[in-house]
């Protein structure tokens, strides 16, 4: 298989898409060649069978023309036979005509609760749509293939760092209303008022102008908690993928107040780090169910700061043995169902056996 992989950013240091570099390495190990088309590319050493084309972000028409040229060269001149676009349905829509003309296998990876006309059109254009869970692609189609996420468990080593003292809570994600950091801040204020010696690490920044306005709302919420709360909340902004494991490592509890509904990758990263997690995401109770009675203690109702505070207290009260056993169990779920090489095997297999065709891998 000679694969063209289209993504927004290829940079192992990127705070949001740094993990994509590991995808490229995994795909390269299973394909004859991989050509990456990306809007941005950072510095890195790639396997010998990987080459990269930079589309760039400036100039809408120029960007479109470069994209079409790169695809035409790959499918026509260079013999690439498979196309996988990552997260952006528009990439598939723009490539569909060329893919059909050159009889190229065409696939999309998508994990988001949002459904719009671009996504529906892309689903019609591609052979299969890969997604992490049923909730991560809310389009009923026989083309949907649920694969789990791809977490590099070796990158998130639970032995890398011990939880800090005093204990710290951690949240990772963009500062947007959809991530609901205000509920976490309200719960944190409750815990401080009850005398808990805690700190809170907020990792992530806004990506748009509107997000910047919400960051001011977050600042106001922190100030409402008074000096005692403000002195214990640390906002770290965007942290690169290569550095983020240290934040998971020093956390006593990871909290996700995200309202997105799909399987949130950062929760899985915290689980792979062997840390207790709390989430209000409806995708996770089925994942936690096999853990038994403790599963209920890992979730809370959306927007319910009081219940979140109580759940955090419960996890903080675990003794060392209980924390260790829970951490091992959570990491085990990720190793079994969401490990990066497992995902790469599945993607390449599915792409190689599609539409009655078998492509060489």
279 in the same domain as 186: yes
Q: What whole-number percentage of the chain has pLDDT above 70?
A: 97
Domain match, 133 and 15 both? yes
Q: How high is the mean pLDDT of the chain?
A: 94
346 and 319 housed in the same domain = no
Look at 57-71, 199-213, 224-238 and tell me which has the smallest mean pLDDT: 199-213
Query: Quick one: 193 and 282 in the same domain?
Result: yes
Confidence of residue 357 (pLDDT cuts 50, 70, 90): low
**pLDDT tens digits along 305-318:** 999 999 999 999 99
Q: For the segment 238-249, what is each residue's pLDDT rounded down to a tens digit?
A: 999 999 999 999
For residue 45, the domain's CATH number is 3.40.50.2000
With cut-offs at 50, 70 and 90, classify the pLDDT of residue 355: low
Tell me if 303 is assigned to some domain.
yes
Domain membership flag for residue 314: yes
For residue 354, which phi and psi values (nearest 5 degrees)?
-145, 140
276 Cβ contact list (under 8 Å, min separation 6): 252, 253, 254, 298, 315, 318, 323, 326, 327, 330
Residue 158 within a domain:
no
219 C-beta neighbours (distance < 10 Å), count? 14
249/316 same-domain check: yes
Full domain range(s) for residue 331: 167-337
Q: Is residue 160 part of a domain?
A: no
The verdict on residue 155 lying in a domain is no
Poorest-pLDDT segment among 55-59, 64-68, 203-207, 247-251:
203-207
Note whether 102 and 77 are same-domain residues.
yes
> pLDDT, tens digit, for every residue of 90-124?
999 999 999 999 999 999 999 988 899 999 999 99
Name the domain count of the chain.
2
The string of pLDDT tens digits covering residues 276-297 is: 999 999 889 999 999 999 999 9
Residue 161 lies in a domain: no
Residue 156 domain-assigned (yes or no)? no
Report the distance separating Cα 6 and Cα 165, nearest Å.
43
In a domain, 324, yes or no: yes
Rg (CA), the chain: 21
- Is the same domain home to 347 and 314? no
Whether 140 has a pLDDT exceeding 70, the answer reads yes
Kindly state whether residues 299 and 326 are assigned to the same domain: yes
Mean pLDDT, rounded, for 73-86: 98
Q: Are both 144 and 237 inside the same structural domain?
A: no
- Report percent pLDDT > 90 for the chain: 87
Same domain, 146 and 181: no
Report the C-alpha gap between 282 and 274 in whole angstroms: 21
Whether residues 206 and 107 share a domain: the answer is no
The predicted-structure confidence for 174-216, as pLDDT tens digits, reads as follows 889 999 999 999 999 999 999 999 999 999 987 665 667 888 8
The pTM of the full predicted model, rounded to 2 decimals, is 0.92
Q: Give pLDDT, residue 359.
A: 62
User: How many Cα neighbours within 13 Å face the side chain of 301?
Assistant: 5
Does 183 share its domain with 297? yes
If pLDDT is split at 50, 70 and 90, which confidence band does 358 have? low
Place 274 in a pLDDT band, splitting at 50, 70 and 90. Answer: very high
pLDDT band at 159 (very low <50, low <70, confident <90, very high): confident
pLDDT category of residue 360 using cuts at 50, 70 and 90:
low
pLDDT band at 31 (very low <50, low <70, confident <90, very high): very high
């Amino acid at each position: 298989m000679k694969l063209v992989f289209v993504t927004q950013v290829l940079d192992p240091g990127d705070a949001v898409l740094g993990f994509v570099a590991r995808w490229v390495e995994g795909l390269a190990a299973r394909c004859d060649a991989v050509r990456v088309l990306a809007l941005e590319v950072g510095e890195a050493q790639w396997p010998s069978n990987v080459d990269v084309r930079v589309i760039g972000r400036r100039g809408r028409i120029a960007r479109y023309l470069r994209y079409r040229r790169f695809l035409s060269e790959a499918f026509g001149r260079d013999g690439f036979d498979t196309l996988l676009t990552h997260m952006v349905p528009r990439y598939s829509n723009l490539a569909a005509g060329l893919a059909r003309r050159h009889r190229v296998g065409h696939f999309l990876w998508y994990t988001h609760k949002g459904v719009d006309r671009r996504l529906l059109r892309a689903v019609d254009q591609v052979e299969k749509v890969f997604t992490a869970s049923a909730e991560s692609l809310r389009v009923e189609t026989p083309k949907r293939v649920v694969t789990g996420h791809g977490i590099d468990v070796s990158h998130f080593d639970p032995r890398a760092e011990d939880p800090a003292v005093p204990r710290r809570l951690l949240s990772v994600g963009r500062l947007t209303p959809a991530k609901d950091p205000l509920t976490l801040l309200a719960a944190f204020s409750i815990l401080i008022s009850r005398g808990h010696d805690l700190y809170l690490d907020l990792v992530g920044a806004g990506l748009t102008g509107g997000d910047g306005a919400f960051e001011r709302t977050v600042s106001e919420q922190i100030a409402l908690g008074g000096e005692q709360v403000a002195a214990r909340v640390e906002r770290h902004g965007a942290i690169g993928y290569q550095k983020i494991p240290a934040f998971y490592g020093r956390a006593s509890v990871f909290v996700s107040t995200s309202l997105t509904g799909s399987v949130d990758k950062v929760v899985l990263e915290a689980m792979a780090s062997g840390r207790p997690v709390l989430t209000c995401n409806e995708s996770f109770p089925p994942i936690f169910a096999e853990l038994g009675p403790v599963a209920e203690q890992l979730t809370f109702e959306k927007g319910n700061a009081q219940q979140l505070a109580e759940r955090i207290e419960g996890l903080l009260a675990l003794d060392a043995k209980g924390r260790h056993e829970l951490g091992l169990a959570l990491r085990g779920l990720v190793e079994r169902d969401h490990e990066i090489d497992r995902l790469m095997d599945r993607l390449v297999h599915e792409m190689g056996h599609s539409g009655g065709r078998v492509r060489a891998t």
